[in-house]
Amino acid sequence: MTLSSVDREPADADPTIAVSVRNVGMRYGDFDAVKDASFDLPKGKFLTILGPSGSGKTTLLRLIAGFGEPTTGEIFINGEPVNAVPAHRRAIGMVFQRLALFPHMTAAQNIAFPLKMRRRDARTIADQVERYLDLVKLGGYGGRRIDALSGGQQQRVAIARALVFEPDLLLLDEPLAALDVKLREEMQLEFRRIQKELGVTTINVTHDQREALVVSDEVIVMNDGVIQQKAQPILAYRKPENAFVANFIGVTNFVHGIVTGVDGGVVAFRSGGKDLRGIAGGSAPQLAEGAQCSAAIRAEQIRIVTGGETPDRFEIVVEGVIADTIFEGERIVYEITVPQLAEASLRVFDHDPAAHTQFQPGARIQLGWNSKDMHVF
Amino acid sequence: MKPPRSAYPWHWRVLDVLERVVETAWPRRFTKGLPHAMLVPVVLLVAILIAGLVEMLDSSFRVLDTNTFLMSDFYTLDNYRRALTENFFQSVATRSFIASFIVTAITLVVAVPYAYLMVRTQSPALRKFLLVALFFPFFIGEVVRAYGWLIILGNQGLVNEFLGLFGLSSVRLLYNYSAVIFGLVQYMLPFAVLMIAPALTAIPEELEAAANSLGANWIRTFRHVVLPLARPGLVAGGLVVMTLSLTNFAIPAMLGGGSQDFMSNVIYDQFFRTSDQGLGSALSILLVIAGSILVGIIFRLFGTGSLAIKGARK
Ligand SMILES: Nc1ncnc2c1ncn2[C@@H]1O[C@H](COP(=O)(O)OP(=O)(O)O)[C@@H](O)[C@H]1O
Ligand SMILES: [Mg+2]
């Protein structure tokens, strides 16, 4: 690869950055599938792009893989601009949504394919294939045809095939989406193990928030083709950048109101007849007195005060009526209508097994929470 | 028990009546035999075909008495001896077979990119154009199309007139082997494309993207992924083109001008020119046998392709 003259160098040409996406946009007709996306991914990190279906995740990933050129912006891999480099000359391993294994080849032939295409020394290919079959715990399965393997085994072949040529970057486009929950959770940890073992920089795409939080070093939340937030999983969860992120990750309640005062990071607002407070959400909050606002609070931050808890532990205590009781096994989810907050509907968890049969629909209870857990947008 | 009126719309009643009519006209116990009954037309057609073949087989063992123009009462292998040993028939057979191989090869080479473009193009307009261009020749028919080539390629044809504009002397484009091959390829192309396109459609585009990301440029993607996966379509298309070419009549007759006869033309001559039904039958039987052997060999070598009946997919 030659360094062509480009006007936009990556932000700082930092040698620790593996992928740098600069103001990338992709337009189909008059529809923007990806809008002005920018981020840097350090080498060796596991990044997950999280977003609902149709939010442009695959589009962004395919641009990085080299299937098509972005309409605007530039992508850098290891500091080199790659917009003009075709997919087959980028050293990127990709695992596709539907795996895209070659059905006319055996598992071993699939894994050998990238080595053959890269004209590696034929004598070393068999060994390398064997090594990667072992890495994904498929030793001895090399001779199987693809359709003679189970779903999980096919996943493993696909991963081995994407990694066997030691790419700079591994891309995963929701390859686990089609698996059942148990296998999916097993494969998530397996991805993480392999990624750690090889230290390969990885971009994973998913609409499964649990997967994003479990496996990633960094999470990017996308919606409508726009990056909403890039943060470590814990921060994306604790400090959502906007209402979309707050809603998309975790079980989140919203209370709508009118801002009555802003004091530094603290926002006072009125919902229904009640005065509430919360912290201003996002990195650049735009809240002024009199503006409409939505306050987000996680289901697990709201406690049921009635019985057990003492009301004075909470800054806010409201009255509610149980509208529905949902048994989820390890916990019960109560859906509670709060007349004081303009009939807002709040979801609250109850993990106390002794309390599992405590409340029936129609029961009146007290709810309590603290203002620091409420993010106002 | 009757459900309340409101819950029972009138079109349900109509269907009920229809169902009762069907039940009386075609009682349930008939239904079991239905699949067999549906085979009757096919069996009839095949039976007629076999009857015809048996009749031909019979005449193929009788020789023509040139005095009375009647077939002999006795059986003899004379027709087969003539068909297999006479130089003329040998050269016609060789010509037909070689032509069918060449036509098949050229047709497949042209049809694969055509079908690929038709299946993969992003532009609906281009896809429509390719489809219409494919079906258009079907409306015209073989003979008219061959006649069209006479007009275009003849000594006073469009091509030669065009060459004449540049002062070039006219070229003999018709009545030779290449003209026949050319005409056959042009005639067979739609069949081949129609057989190959479904096989290509069945290949997920993601496989090609995968091959790309694994380091294969488009040529190697085509060679290692697309072609092997399209093989059933290629085999089926190849077979159709090969057998149709081998037994073609109109194009060698018209574009070959009598000098490039195929087996069908020679058989036609036996039946309708010299009225030697015996020799004609013997040649026909030989053509059927040779064609079947050829198809058998191809099945053996390449599998039965998308014509697979059973167990061909491993
Ligand atoms: N080739 C294309 N032509 C037109 N629209 C497309 C194309 N590819 C994707 N899109 C549109 O872009 C949007 C984002 O698609 P995609 O990136 O596949 O979303 P995700 O992977 O997040 O589900 C979708 O609305 C989709 O319809
Ligand atoms: Mg997708």
Between CA A254 and CA B74 the distance in angstroms is: 102
pTM value > 0.95: no
Ligand 1 mean position to A56 CA, how many Å? 6
Give the closest residue to A110 by CA, choosing from A119, A120, A100.
A100
**Count of the separate structural domains present in chain B:** 1
Give the closest residue to A289 by CA, choosing from A268, A315, A303.
A268
Share of chain A above pLDDT 70, in %: 94
For atom 1 of ligand 1, which residue has the closest CA? A28
Average pLDDT over residues B115-139: 92
pLDDT band at A356 (very low <50, low <70, confident <90, very high): low
Residue B68: inside a domain: no
pLDDT at A5 over 60: no
- Asked if B139 and B198 touch (Cβ cutoff 8 Å), the reply is no
Residue B188: inside a domain: yes
Ligand 1 within 6 A of CB of A206: no
Any residues with CB less than 8 A from the CB of A253 and at least 6 apart, and which?
A296, A297, A298, A299, A302, A344, A345, A346, A347
Residue B16: inside a domain: no
Between CA B297 and CA B142 the distance in angstroms is: 29
Higher pLDDT, A234 or B35: A234
Yes or no, beta carbons of A100 and B207 under 8 Å apart? yes
Ligand 2 mean position to A58 CA, how many Å? 4
Ligand 1 within 6 A of CB of A360: no
Assign a CATH topology to domain A5-238: Rossmann fold (3.40.50)
pLDDT at A285 over 90: no
Summarize pLDDT for B85-107 with one digit per residue, the tens.
Answer: 999 999 999 999 999 999 999 99
Yes or no, beta carbons of B206 and A65 under 8 Å apart? no
Yes or no, beta carbons of A88 and B213 under 8 Å apart? yes
Identify which of A59, A94, A176, A221 to mutate to test ligand 1's pocket (most ligand atoms within 8 A of the CB): A59
- Residue type (1 letter), B85: T
pLDDT band at B3 (very low <50, low <70, confident <90, very high): low
Q: B212 touching A, CB under 8 A?
A: yes
Minimum mean pLDDT range among A306-315, A333-342, B161-170: A306-315
What per-residue confidence (pLDDT) applies to A67?
94
Residue B86: inside a domain: yes
Ligand 1 mean position to A86 CA, how many Å? 20
Q: B207 touching A, CB under 8 A?
A: yes
CA–CA min distance B221, chain A (Å): 9
Higher pLDDT, A186 or B31: A186
Minimal Cβ distance to A98: which of B206, B217, B225: B206
pLDDT at A175 over 50: yes
Residue B243: inside a domain: yes
Which contacts (CB < 8 Å, 24+ apart) does range A210-215 have? Answer: A211/A48, A211/A176, A211/A184, A212/A48, A212/A50, A212/A249, A213/A237, A213/A249, A214/A188, A214/A189, A215/A46, A215/A48, A215/A188, A215/A189, A215/A191
* Joined tokens for residue A336: 């509670």
Ligand 2 mean position to A203 CA, how many Å? 13
pLDDT at A7 over 90: no
Minimum mean pLDDT range among A191-200, B20-29, B121-130, B210-219: B20-29
User: What letter would DSSP give residue B225?
Assistant: I
CA–CA min distance B112, chain A (Å): 19
Share of chain A above pLDDT 90, in %: 70
- Dmax (CA) for chain B in angstroms is 94
Minimal Cβ distance to B214: which of A86, A104, A114: A114
What per-residue confidence (pLDDT) applies to A142?
94
Domain enclosing residue B238, as ranges: 79-306
Yes or no, beta carbons of A88 and B212 under 8 Å apart? yes
List the Cα angle B100/B104/B105 in 5-degree steps.
Answer: 120
For atom 27 of ligand 1, which residue has the closest CA? A54
Between CA A72 and CA A24 the distance in angstroms is: 5
Share of chain B above pLDDT 90, in %: 65
The CATH number of residue B227's host domain is 1.10.3720.10
Strand partners, A263: A266
Average pLDDT over residues A80-86: 94
Assign a CATH topology to domain A251-376: OB fold (Dihydrolipoamide Acetyltransferase, E2P) (2.40.50)
| ipTM value | 0.83
Yes or no, beta carbons of A165 and B214 under 8 Å apart? yes
What per-residue confidence (pLDDT) applies to A1?
37
Summarize pLDDT for A215-264 with one digit per residue, the tens.
Answer: 899 999 999 999 999 999 999 999 999 999 999 999 999 999 999 988 88
Kindly list the residues from chain B whose CB atom is less than 8 angstroms away from the CB atom of residue A92.
213
What per-residue confidence (pLDDT) applies to B98?
97
pLDDT band at B168 (very low <50, low <70, confident <90, very high): confident
DSSP string, A177-229: TTS-HHHHHHHHHHHHHHHHHHT-EEEEEES-HHHHHHH-SEEEEEETTEEEE
What per-residue confidence (pLDDT) applies to B8?
82
User: Given the DSSP bridges, would you call strands A316-327 and A332-338 parallel, antiparallel or unpaired?
Assistant: antiparallel
- Residue type (1 letter), B169: S
Domain boundaries, chain A: 5-238, 251-376
Identify which of A26, A28, A220 to mutate to test ligand 1's pocket (most ligand atoms within 8 A of the CB): A28
Ligand 1 mean position to A68 CA, how many Å? 13
Mutate to test the interface with B, among A67, A82, A109, A117 (most CBs of B within 10 A): A117
Q: What is the CA radius of gyration of chain A?
A: 25
Summarize pLDDT for B47-71 with one digit per residue, the tens.
Answer: 999 999 999 999 999 998 888 888 8
Residue B12: inside a domain: no
Kindly list the residues from chain B whose CB atom is less than 8 angstroms away from the CB atom of residue A169.
none
Neighbours of B243 (CB within 10 A): 17
CA–CA min distance B130, chain A (Å): 23
Residue B48: inside a domain: no
pLDDT at A180 over 50: yes
